[in-house]
Amino acid sequence: MRYSGLKVLLEGLKGQTGWKPVWRQSEPKKHYDFIIIGGGGHGLATAYYLSEIYGQSNIAVLEKGWIGGGNVGRNTTIIRSNYLLDGNEPFYEFSLKLWENLEQDLNYNAMVSQRGIYNIYHSDAQRDAFRRRGNAMRFNGADAELLDASQLRECFPYLDYENARFPIQGALHQPRGGTVRHDAVAWGYARAADANGVDIIQNCEVTGFKIGNGKILGLETSKGFIGAGKVASCVAGSSSRVMAMAGLRLPIESHVLQAFVTEGLKPLIDSVITFGAGHFYVSQSDKGGLVFGGDLDGYNSYAQRGNLPVIEDVAEGGMALMPMIGRARLLRSWGGIMDMSMDGSPIIDRTPVEGLYFNGGWCYGGFKATPASGYAYAHLLATDTPHETANAYRLDRFRTGALIDEKGVGAQPNLH
Ligand SMILES: Cc1cc2nc3c(=O)[nH]c(=O)nc-3n(C[C@H](O)[C@H](O)[C@H](O)COP(=O)(O)OP(=O)(O)OC[C@H]3O[C@@H](n4cnc5c(N)ncnc54)[C@H](O)[C@@H]3O)c2cc1C
The string of pLDDT tens digits covering residues 5-35 is 999 999 999 999 999 999 999 999 999 999 9
Is position 14 within any domain?
A: no
Whole-number Å distance between alpha carbons of 103 and 186? 12
Same domain, 242 and 367: yes
Does residue 306's CB lie within 6 angstroms of at least one atom of ligand 1?
Answer: no
Would you give the DSSP letter of residue 364?
Answer: G
Q: How far apart are CA 67 and CA 146, in angstroms?
A: 39
Indicate the helix (H) or strand (E) that contains 253. Answer: strand 252-264
Inform me whether the pLDDT recorded for 413 exceeds 90.
no
Largest CA distance in the chain: 66
Q: 271 and 300 in one domain?
A: yes
- pLDDT (0 to 100) of residue 360: 98
Of 326, 341, 356, the residue that ends a domain is 341
The amino acid present at 130, given as its one-letter code, is F
Residues 263 and 125 in one domain: yes
What is the band of 36 on the pLDDT scale with cuts at 50, 70, 90? very high
Q: Could you give the count of Cα atoms lying within 13 Å of 82 in the half-sphere of its Cβ?
A: 27
* pLDDT value, residue 402: 92
236 lines ligand 1 (CB under 6 A): yes
Residue 198 CB contacts under 8 Å (≥ 6 apart), including other chains: 47, 48, 50, 51, 57, 59, 60, 61
Mutate to test the pocket of ligand 1, among 49, 71, 295, 348 (most ligand atoms within 8 A of CB): 71
DSSP-assigned beta bridge partners for residue 233: 37, 358
Cα–chain center distance at 404: 18
By the 10 Å C-beta count (0-12 exposed, 13-18 middle, 19+ buried), 13 is classed as exposed
408 and 359 in a common domain: yes
Give the phi and the psi of residue 207 in degrees, each rounded to 5: -115, -10
Question: What is the residue-wise DSSP string for 30-65?
Answer: SEEEEEEE--SHHHHHHHHHHHHTS----EEEE-SS
What pLDDT, on a 0 to 100 scale, did the predictor assign at position 200?
Answer: 98
Mutate to test the pocket of ligand 1, among 42, 364, 393, 406 (most ligand atoms within 8 A of CB): 364
Other C-beta atoms within 10 Å of 63: how many?
Answer: 26
Q: 79 with 356: CB under 8 angstroms? A: no
- The whole-number pLDDT of residue 51 equals 98
Q: How far apart are CA 205 and CA 66, in angstroms?
A: 11
Predicted confidence band of residue 414 (pLDDT cuts 50, 70, 90): confident
Q: pLDDT digits over 354-378, tens only?
A: 999 999 999 989 999 999 999 999 9
Residue 68 Cβ contacting ligand 1 at under 6 Å: no
What is the gyration radius of the CA atoms in the chain, in angstroms? 21
* Percent residues over pLDDT 70 in the chain: 100
Measured CA angle at 182 (ends 257, 112), to 5 deg: 130
Q: Does the beta carbon of 183 lie inside 6 Å of ligand 1?
A: no
Mean of the pLDDT values across residues 230-244?
98
372 within 8 A of 378, measured Cβ to Cβ: no
Residue 56 falls inside a structural domain: yes
Q: Do 243 and 257 belong to one domain?
A: no
Model confidence at 415: pLDDT above 90: no
Q: Which residues does residue 292 pair with via DSSP β-bridges, in sequence order?
A: 260, 282
Separation between Cα atoms, residue 113 and residue 134, nearest integer Å: 21
What number does the ligand 1 atom closest to the CA of 339 have?
A: 19
47 lines ligand 1 (CB under 6 A): no
Atom 41, ligand 1: residue with shortest CA distance: 206
**Ligand 1 pocket, residue 238 CB under 6 Å:** yes
- Give the pLDDT of residue 273: 98
- The stretches of 199-324 forming alpha helices (DSSP H) are 239-244, 308-321
Identify the pLDDT of residue 416: 82
Are 396 and 350 within one domain?
yes
**Distance between Cα 284 and ligand 1 center (Å):** 21
- Check whether residue 334 and residue 391 sit in a common domain: no
Per-residue pLDDT band at 84 (split at 50, 70, 90): very high
Helix, coil or strand: residue 215: strand
Instruction: Give nearest CA residue, ligand 1 atom 20.
Output: 366
- Domain encompassing residue 132: 114-177+253-341
What is the DSSP code (8-state) at residue 344?
A: S
> Which residues on adjacent β-strands are paired with residue 124?
none
Neighbours of 227 (CB within 10 A): 16
94 vs 112: CA distance, rounded Å: 16
Mean pLDDT of 78-107: 97
Give the pLDDT confidence score for residue 283 in this predicted structure: 98
Specify if 89 maps to a domain.
no
Whether residue 266 is found in the same domain as residue 149: yes
* Cα(208)–Cα(217) distance, integer angstroms: 11
CATH code of the domain containing 46:
3.50.50.60
Would 15 be classed as within a structural domain?
Answer: no
Average per-residue pLDDT for the chain: 97
Q: What is the mean pLDDT of residues 107-117?
A: 98
12 domain residue, yes or no: no
Last-in-domain residue among 320, 341, 362: 341
Q: Is 116 in the pocket of ligand 1 (CB under 6 A)?
A: no
Count how many domains the chain has.
Answer: 2
| pLDDT at residue number 408 | 87
Of the listed ranges 97-101, 169-173, 224-228, 299-303, the one predicted with least confidence:
299-303
372 assigned to some structural domain? yes
**Residues 329 and 263 grouped into a single domain:** yes
Same domain, 347 and 396: yes
What's the mean pLDDT in 286-299? 95
Residue nearest to atom 9 of ligand 1 (CA): 78
Among 332, 308, 315, which residue's Cα sits nearest to residue 278? 315
Q: How confident is the model at residue 195 (pLDDT cuts 50, 70, 90)?
A: very high
In a domain, 99, yes or no: no
> What pLDDT was estimated at residue 257?
97
Q: What band does 298 get if pLDDT is binned at 50, 70 and 90?
A: confident
Distance of CA 200 to the CA centre of its chain: 20
Same domain, 138 and 187: no
Q: Is the pLDDT of residue 400 over 90?
A: yes
Q: Quick one: pLDDT band at residue 412, thresholds 50, 70, 90?
A: confident
Using an 8 Å Cβ cutoff, are 102 and 49 in contact?
Answer: no
| 45 C-beta closer than 6 A to ligand 1 | no
Distance CA 65, CA 236 (A): 14
Asked whether residue 95 is domain-assigned, the answer is no
209 Cβ inside 6 Å of ligand 1: no
